[in-house]
Structure 1
Amino acid sequence: MEIRLGFQGSEGPTEQSISVTMRTPGNDFDLAVGFLFTEGVIADPGDVHNIEHCGPPSPDKGIRNVVKVDLGEHVRFDPGHLLRHFFTSSSCGVCGKASLDAVRVQIPPGERGDFAIAAADLKRLPATLRAAQTEFDRTGGLHASACFDTEGRIHRVREDVGRHNALDKLIGSFLTEGLDDGPAPLSGFGILLSGRASFELIQKVAMTRAAFVAAVGPPSSLAVELAAELGITLVGFLKARTFNAYVEPGRIV
């Protein structure tokens, strides 16, 4: 899917393609808005003036693969913010970025949300998530991101062939549906990842000010470093009987 951005440039209204991602069709607007939010292009839902599919549908399945997001006139966007046009693959969300420095967006200041969960509730999450992965049941090939509360109840799940897309869809859903009145969606929830916890996924979570990330798979060393830097609890290898707590284990009670 291609994401095009409409914004006020130095010479008037400008349109620019800023990303192409291999995604699972569905929740495209959530994906686009979540991507813009986690890349620091927008700060809250009010920064988006309009969002729509454009271009002809694909001849085989009738799917539209271009989403245009028009920013509000008050939003100042510097195309150099994203350094260059980059390709986001389904397996590695940072493969197209120019350097590791380019991956780091400016994390907004502010406290992490208060969050604590019992170990027993935490260990029930993988089974609960698996039961909610309807598209995985159908295909056997999709990742999932979910948000859960302090009692271990999952409130929302998004699935996609790309781990980073699933998380962008989850974050974007809170923005596009107007479920959050401020610039910190998901700050009161924990985030559950069905696979590995990469650097970029921790960065995306950091943009929401959420304080807790649990992953069914392992974290990367850079993910652990970033979580420690930001004070985000990071759990990996989460299973029904065991888990590893890498950062800030005090939120597990």
Structure 2
Amino acid sequence: MSRVAVKKRILRVRAAARVREFDSLAAEEPLEIRLNGTPLTVTMRTPGDDFDLAAGFLVSEGAVASPDDISTIRYCAGATVGGENTYNVLDARLAAEVPTPEPRNFYTTSSCGVCGKASLEAVRTVARWSTREDPVELALPTVADLPNRLRAAQRVFDRTGGLHAAGLFTADGEPLCVREDVGRHNAVDKLLGWALRNGRLPLRGTVLMVSGRASFELVQKAVMGGVPVLAAVSAPSSLAVDLAAEEGLTLIGFLRGDSMNVYTGERRLRTGVQNVTSGAGDGSAGARSPG
């Protein structure tokens, strides 16, 4: 099987010191996902949890919602280099009663091809569950500690420093599953695939914590998995905020220490604050990191 990290010989420069040594790098390899034998997509990913990645991608695209919707996922033995399986091609087979979607119906192919009103309507059309009515509430100290809990579970990051992470947590901050990948979208898909394969969809009452920014695609994936709260250490995009507001999802950005920006769904946070003062100006300060 492929490795999640590889060793490369480097020249390390530290002030006047020059040392030749090995450095650990996050592995990046292509994965071709086939659906019922037909090529569907190719993504660059960190090898590992590939079946979860494929299953989560199908969840994100609205093709499946139950572990029974997928009959098998297997590596294709024909994908070889030098007679050895590369484990870089896999095929997911849908159950007989599950319709095979047309390729043109797949509305997210990573970050390109999605825009504006049509994208928001597409998510509303295919989402299996509503996040709006999820009654989960979170204490601010619990939210503030999520980046630390996510970082503590990043085992490959400790060796390479080059991976995104996504974690699913309970409302009390207990980790359910954490996945790492060179692609932040892949890390979230691996979580959704884990949830699907373990019969945990929809992910009501949970928090999705991501190590990067909150893009439209990540909000979209949270909605497709029934996740009511998405928190990120960096900024959201404008379309991400629009979608979160449309779907009733709580979206938190710039989560660093006890500071955060709550863009939508603040009703789910037990802030303990009695009075909230509106800032002056056009609101642009709120789009930047707190502090």
TM-score of the two chains, using structure 2 as the length reference? 0.75
Equivalence for 2:195: 174
Distance in 2, Cα, partners of 1:118 & 1:83? 37
Distance in 2, Cα, partners of 1:117 & 1:98? 31
- Structure 1 stretch displaced more, 226-235 or 60-69: 60-69
Q: 1:164 aligns with which of 154, 179, 185?
A: 185
Paired residue secondary structure (1:25): coil
Equivalence for 2:276: none
Is the contact between residue 130 and residue 223 of structure 2 (CA under 8 Å) also seen in structure 1?
A: no
1:67 and 2:90 matched? yes
Equivalence for 2:284: none
Deviation at 1:199, TM superposition (A): 0.4
Q: Which one has a larger percent strand, Structure 1 or Structure 2?
A: 2
Structure 1 residues 6-21: aligned runs within 5 Å: 6=36, 15-21=37-43
Distance 1:108 1:72, change over 3 A: same
Q: 2:249 aligns with which of 229, 232, 242?
A: 232
Structure 1 residues 30-69: aligned runs within 5 Å: 30-54=52-76, 55-59=78-82, 63-69=86-92
Distance in 1, Cα, partners of 2:162 & 2:221? 22
Distance 1:80 1:53, change over 3 A: closer
TM-score of the two chains, using structure 1 as the length reference? 0.85
Distance 1:83 1:202, change over 3 A: closer
Q: Which amino acid aligns with 1:218?
A: A
Larger Rg: 2
Percent identity of the aligned residues? Answer: 44
**Aligned-residue CA RMSD in angstroms?**
2.2
Is the contact between residue 219 and residue 244 of structure 2 (CA under 8 Å) also seen in structure 1?
A: yes
Is the contact between residue 83 and residue 98 of structure 1 (CA under 8 Å) also seen in structure 2?
A: no
Distance in 2, Cα, partners of 1:188 & 1:172? 18
Q: Which amino acid aligns with 2:223?
A: A
Deviation at 1:19, TM superposition (A): 0.6
Distance in 1, Cα, partners of 2:146 & 2:266? 17
Cα deviation, 1:2-40, whole Å, max 9, x if unaligned, reads: 00011xxxxxxxx31111000000000000000001101
Distance 1:114 1:59, change over 3 A: farther
Distance 1:72 1:217, change over 3 A: same
Deviation at 1:56, TM superposition (A): 3.0
Distance in 1, Cα, partners of 2:254 & 2:247? 21
Q: 1:4 aligns with which of 6, 31, 34?
A: 34
Q: 1:22 aligns with which of 37, 44, 59?
A: 44
Equivalence for 2:162: 141
Distance 1:50 1:242, change over 3 A: same
Distance in 1, Cα, partners of 2:193 & 2:262? 27
Deviation at 1:43, TM superposition (A): 2.3
Distance in 1, Cα, partners of 2:234 & 2:260? 10
Distance in 2, Cα, partners of 1:98 & 1:189? 26
Q: Which amino acid aligns with 1:242?
A: S
Q: 1:223 aligns with which of 236, 240, 251?
A: 240
Q: Which amino acid aligns with 1:122?
A: V
Is the contact between residue 232 and residue 255 of structure 2 (CA under 8 Å) also seen in structure 1?
A: yes
Q: Which amino acid aligns with 1:46?
A: D
Distance 1:169 1:149, change over 3 A: same
Q: Which amino acid aligns with 2:163?
A: L
Deviation at 1:83, TM superposition (A): 5.8
Is the contact between residue 82 and residue 102 of structure 1 (CA under 8 Å) also seen in structure 2?
A: no
Aligned length: 234
Is the contact between residue 144 and residue 163 of structure 1 (CA under 8 Å) also seen in structure 2?
A: yes
